[in-house]
């Protein structure tokens, strides 16, 4: 459990206190109800999603537990407790899907992207850009050749770092704002070859499985799972992270 009272506004503190008390008393259903009321009021924090995931996990309700752990991880990807509980929950679902091996630089890029949240990457990008501007200022205004040379190379290096960090920030923003990842909530769902019930059956996945949304047509989503398999399933069968 993470303490939330110091993080929330006064309007949510009573709800959080009630939810925490219910959780500690093992009244997980009441805790879930109160935590979700806090979310409905527009307050979002990794600690809140983590506590909510724990409450669902203690009821052995894995899909919403995984969903909330994933939401907590999206806000705080480096937190060890969130990642540990998410791994435990994922180990308990039916589908054990082996991820397709990725080219090393793609794997490195994703690892770097997910090492910090979007806020941290945004601040990092701004700091790098400020250093580029300072380097440009010293280059154009200084009369010393050595300072101009140092400013040029410093500016060039940080310009590349700025481009990289802005790319990572945009990538994270695109995933989070468009909610391209989702969790399956139906106990069993057959993935189809086309966006309708008449499509050919391709494979079956179960509740708790994480999918990536490629596109949407009407009430159907074209999804990809970790092993690279793709197909169509009803949007009503998944909840977005």
Residue-wise pLDDT for 209-234, tens only, equals: 999 999 999 999 999 999 999 999 99
Is the pLDDT at 98 greater than 80? The verdict is yes
Is the pLDDT at 5 greater than 70? The verdict is no
Looking at the DSSP bridge assignments, the partners of residue 182 are: 211, 240
Q: Please provide the average confidence, as pLDDT, over all residues in the chain.
A: 90
Tell me the mean pLDDT in the region 1-30. Answer: 78
> Tokens at residue 198, please?
């008449």
Is the pLDDT at 9 greater than 80? The verdict is no
pLDDT of residue 166: 92
Is the pLDDT at 167 greater than 70? The verdict is yes
pLDDT of residue 10: 56
Tell me the mean pLDDT in the region 92-107. Answer: 84
- Separation CA 6–CA 42 (nearest Å): 16
> Tokens at residue 222, please?
């074209």
> Tokens at residue 69, please?
């752990």
pTM (predicted TM-score): 0.80
Cβ atoms of residues 73 and 82 within 8 Å: yes
Tell me the mean pLDDT in the region 108-135. Answer: 89
- DSSP structure string for 185-235: -SSEEEEESSSSTTSPEEEEEETT-EEEEEEEETTEEEEE-TTS-EEEEEG
């Amino acid at each position: 459990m993470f303490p939330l009272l110091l993080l929330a506004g006064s309007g949510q503190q009573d709800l959080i206190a009630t939810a925490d008390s219910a959780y500690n008393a093992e009244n997980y259903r009441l805790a879930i109800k109160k935590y979700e009321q806090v979310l409905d009021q527009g307050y979002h924090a990794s600690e809140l999603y983590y506590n909510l995931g724990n409450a669902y996990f203690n009821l052995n309700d894995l899909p919403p537990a995984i969903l909330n752990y994933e939401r907590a991880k999206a806000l705080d990807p480096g937190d060890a407790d969130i990642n540990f509980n998410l791994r435990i929950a994922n180990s308990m679902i039916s589908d054990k899907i082996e991820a397709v091996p990725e080219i090393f630089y793609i794997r490195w890029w994703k690892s770097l992207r997910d090492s910090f949240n979007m806020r941290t990457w945004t601040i990092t990008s701004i700091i790098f850009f400020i250093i580029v501007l300072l380097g440009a200022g010293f280059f154009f205004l200084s009369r010393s050749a050595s300072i101009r040379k140092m400013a040029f190379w410093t500016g060039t290096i940080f310009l590349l770092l700025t481009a990289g960090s802005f790319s990572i920030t945009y990538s994270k923003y695109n995933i989070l704002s468009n909610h391209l990842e989702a969790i399956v909530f139906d106990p069993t769902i057959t993935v189809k070859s086309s966006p309708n019930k008449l499509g050919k059956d391709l494979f079956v996945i179960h509740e708790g499985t994480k999918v990536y949304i490629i596109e949407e047509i009407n009430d159907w989503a074209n999804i990809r799972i970790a092993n690279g398999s793709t197909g169509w399933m009803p949007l009503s069968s998944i909840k977005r992270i």
